[in-house]
């Protein structure tokens, strides 16, 4: 029997809190899960620093990847008979679903920003490169790795396949909303996925939703909206992200500084600092490595690096106030001046972070980030864009919301001995000297 058609002698199941069970019958999928590259995802948290705000959010990308696979598996089951995919095409969908986050690094949000990397690029690189994952995929067919990579890069010719894991209502989003809600414990993030799966219809190059399922989709869009603002953009989480970025930035700057010498050579980071990362370097990294360095760097001579690492490891985060950089530039300039005067480097300790979300968008051809809209299939068979049928979705459609915060170390500020500078800073930040700002 061809490798691609091999079935396990007995179906394997993973107990999953979100989907109850994840089912695996295909040898290919089982072998992919067993690769070191996929197992590495166990050491990368799905939500980076969110567990510093919601302590339950300690789940890994391994967890989520299995979930996305399972959702696609169920979708394909429902499509059975409707869509005439052959077995290899089915495996393509399942593999792409399983592997779609394979290239994520530790704390990727900050990591990618500082080192100018892109996890999607690495996902594809792992799939087509010299890896165990590639070895498994090769056994399906010599071109199979490339096809999986194309699905992940959204360039695969059958856009229906792409849309299963990359659209405004895809298996990826459906899994993470539910999963992140489950682990954080928030009451948002629930919607009737079983119903959505039942009303999904493959039509040409997209998946549409039978109009009778519209309300379940509305619920999903609202979940997404609430999760973004309640969980993903939580200002305390972003405080930790700010610190992370500054740690990476500071370490890189010190490495580039000919006068500074690390106590222990930061071996795992060197190619990142030098911006010539190889695939082999990349897949070695995970959160245990990164945090090991944070441990070490607490002992470094550089006061900024050691302070930032200590803050991150012991969750002594930066405080924040609302701050609109567009309107308050003068305040910001004045704060920079005062920080310098106080001997606190504003590059590392006075940081504006802006987060914005577009919960749902209709199609705007030609715009930088085109997003395919969700289409409802009406009883007469016609398609209708979601926001034209749903008042609620219409109300938030295309509306970008942005939140700006200014982060700073209130502990250092309060400890300033120059009372004049101290009060001037706190006056700008809190309006009246000081407040009971807490997280």
Residues that bind a copy of itself (CB under 8 A): 9-10, 12-18, 20-21, 34-36, 39, 42-43, 51, 54-56, 58-60, 62-63, 66, 182-188, 190-192, 194-195, 198, 215-216, 218-219, 222, 225-226, 229-230, 284, 287-289, 291-292, 295, 313-316, 391-392, 394-396, 399, 401, 436, 438
59 vs 119 by CB, closer to a copy of itself? 59
Is the separation of the CB atoms in 299 and 388 below 8 Å?
no
Q: Give, rounded to a whole angstrom, the gap between the first and last alpha carbons of the chain.
A: 59
14 vs 115 by CB, closer to a copy of itself? 14
187 vs 417 by CB, closer to a copy of itself? 187
Within 16-60, where are the H helices? 27-33, 36-39
DSSP letters for 258-306: TT---SS--GGGHHHHTT---HHHHHH--HHHHHHHHHHHTTSS-HHHH
Q: How far is the CB of 264 from a copy of itself (least distance, A)?
A: 9
102 vs 162 by CB, closer to a copy of itself? 102
- Separate counts of helices (H) and strands (E) for the chain: 22, 9
Using DSSP, state whether 45 is helix, strand or coil. strand
313 vs 333 by CB, closer to a copy of itself? 313
Cα maximum dimension of the chain? 80
Q: How far is the CB of 197 from a copy of itself (least distance, A)?
A: 11
DSSP bridge partners of 105: none
Q: How many CA atoms lie within 13 A of 361 on its CB side?
A: 16
Q: How far is the CB of 430 from a copy of itself (least distance, A)?
A: 11
Q: How far is the CB of 321 from a copy of itself (least distance, A)?
A: 11
392 vs 412 by CB, closer to a copy of itself? 392
Helix (H) or strand (E) holding 237: helix 235-256
Is the separation of the CB atoms in 72 and 93 below 8 Å?
yes
Q: How far is the CB of 141 from a copy of itself (least distance, A)?
A: 25
Q: How far is the CB of 127 from a copy of itself (least distance, A)?
A: 18
Decide the pairing of beta strands 206-210 and 375-377. parallel
Is the separation of the CB atoms in 221 and 358 below 8 Å?
no
Q: How far is the CB of 162 from a copy of itself (least distance, A)?
A: 27
Six-digit token string for 126: 């792992």
- Cα–Cα dist 93/198, whole Å: 18
Q: How far is the CB of 10 from a copy of itself (least distance, A)?
A: 7
327 vs 438 by CB, closer to a copy of itself? 438
Q: How far is the CB of 316 from a copy of itself (least distance, A)?
A: 8
DSSP 8-class letter at 357: E
Closest by CA position to 244, among listed 66, 88, 50 = 50
182 vs 362 by CB, closer to a copy of itself? 182
47 vs 162 by CB, closer to a copy of itself? 47
77 vs 155 by CB, closer to a copy of itself? 77
Sign of CA dihedral 37, 40, 46, 49: negative
Using DSSP, state whether 24 is helix, strand or coil. strand
Q: How many CA atoms lie within 13 A of 362 on its CB side?
A: 15
Closest by CA position to 167, among listed 219, 210, 118, 220 = 220
Q: How far is the CB of 271 from a copy of itself (least distance, A)?
A: 16
């Amino acid at each position: 029997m061809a490798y691609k058609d091999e079935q396990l002698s007995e179906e394997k199941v993973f107990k999953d809190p979100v989907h109850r069970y994840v089912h695996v019958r295909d040898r290919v999928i089982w072998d992919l899960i067993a690769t070191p590259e996929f197992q590495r995802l166990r050491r990368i948290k799905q939500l980076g620093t969110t567990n510093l705000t919601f302590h339950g959010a300690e789940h890994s990308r391994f967890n989520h990847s299995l979930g996305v696979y399972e959702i696609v598996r169920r979708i394909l089951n429902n499509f059975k008979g409707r869509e005439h995919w052959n077995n290899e095409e089915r495996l393509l969908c399942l593999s792409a679903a399983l592997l779609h986050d394979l290239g994520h690094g530790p704390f990727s949000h900050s990591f990618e920003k500082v080192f100018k990397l892109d996890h999607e690029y690495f996902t594809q690189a792992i799939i087509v490169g010299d890896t165990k994952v590639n070895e498994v995929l090769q056994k399906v067919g010599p071109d199979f790795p490339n096809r999986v990579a194309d699905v992940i890069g959204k360039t695969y010719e059958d856009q229906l396949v792409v849309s299963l894991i990359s659209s405004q209502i895809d298996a990826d989003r459906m899994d993470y909303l539910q999963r992140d809600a489950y682990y954080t414990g928030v009451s948002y993030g629930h919607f009737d996925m079983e119903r959505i799966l039942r009303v999904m219809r493959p039509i040409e190059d997209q998946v549409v939703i039978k109009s009778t399922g519209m309300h379940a989709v509305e619920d999903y869009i609202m979940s997404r909206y609430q999760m973004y603002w309640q969980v993903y953009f939580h200002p305390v989480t972003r405080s930790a992200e700010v610190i992370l970025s500054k740690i990476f930035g500071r370490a890189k700057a010190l490495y580039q500084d000919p006068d500074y010498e690390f106590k222990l050579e930061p071996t795992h980071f060197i190619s990142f600092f030098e911006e010539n990362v190889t695939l082999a370097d990349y897949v070695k990294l995970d959160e245990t490595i990164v945090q090991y360095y944070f441990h070490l760097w607490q002992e470094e001579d550089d006061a900024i690096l050691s302070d930032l690492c200590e803050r991150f490891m012991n969750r002594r985060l930066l405080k924040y106030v609302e701050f609109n950089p567009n309107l308050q530039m003068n305040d910001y300039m004045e704060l920079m001046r005062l920080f310098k005067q106080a001997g606190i480097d504003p590059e590392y300790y006075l940081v504006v972070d802006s987060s914005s979300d577009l919960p749902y968008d209709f199609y705007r051809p030609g715009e930088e980030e085109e997003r395919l809209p969700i289409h409802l299939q009406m009883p007469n068979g016609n398609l209708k864009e979601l926001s034209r049928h749903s008042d609620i979705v219409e109300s938030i459609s295309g509306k970008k919301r942005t939140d700006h915060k200014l982060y700073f170390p209130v502990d250092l500020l309060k400890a300033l001995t120059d009372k004049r500078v101290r009060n001037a800073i706190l006056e700008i930040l809190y309006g009246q000297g000081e407040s009971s700002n807490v997280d």
